[in-house]
Structure 1
Amino acid sequence: MRTTIGYTVESIGYVVGAQGLVSFASQAFFGTEWGWMHKVVDLPSTAYLGIAAVGLALIVGGVKTRKTPQRQKAA
């Protein structure tokens, strides 16, 4: 079960982090809107770096959840 949860959290982290980076880069360097984050929230470009950090935290949390050894139940 931990493995499934770890992969799920990690996958969500990749999507959120990528969208945060794409939204930041598009606003900061090109002055346009890329991705789908701008359709959900309207934030300044630096706030999208925070969203990318949340994505990174989800990735790290998912990997740690996936790699923790499971305790065996005593019979």
Structure 2
Amino acid sequence: MRTTIGYTAESIGYVIGAQGLVSFASQTLFGTEWGWLHKVVDLPPAASLGIVAVGLALVLVGVKTRNAPARQEAG
């Protein structure tokens, strides 16, 4: 179960981080809106970097959860 939760959090983190990065790059470099993020909420470019940070945090939590040693129950 721990591995499944780790992979799920990591996968969601990759998607969120990628959407934040695409949103930031498209707004700052091209002046347009790309990705799915702008369809949900209208954010300034600086807030898109916050979305990238949230995605990175989820990836790190997922990897740490997946790689954590399993606890043994007292028997």
Question: Normalization by structure 2: what TM-score?
Answer: 0.96
Post-superposition shift, 1:71?
Answer: 1.5
Confirm whether residue 31 of structure 1 aligns to residue 39 of structure 2.
Answer: no
Identity of aligned residues (%): 77
**Residue 72 (structure 1) shift:** 2.3
Q: Distance in 1 between matches of 2:50 and 2:34?
A: 17
TM-superposition CA deviations, 1:13-70 (whole Å, max 9, x none): 0000000000000000000000000000001011000000000000000000000000
Aligned to 1:48: 48
Counterpart position of 2:17: 17
- RMSD, aligned α-carbons: 0.7
- Aligned residue pairs total 75
Where do 5+ consecutive residues of structure 2 fail to align?
Answer: none
Structure 1 runs of 4+ aligned residues shifted over 3 Å read none
Aligned partner of 2:67 in structure 1 is 67
Residues in 2 aligned to 1:17 and 1:29: alpha-carbon distance in whole angstroms: 18
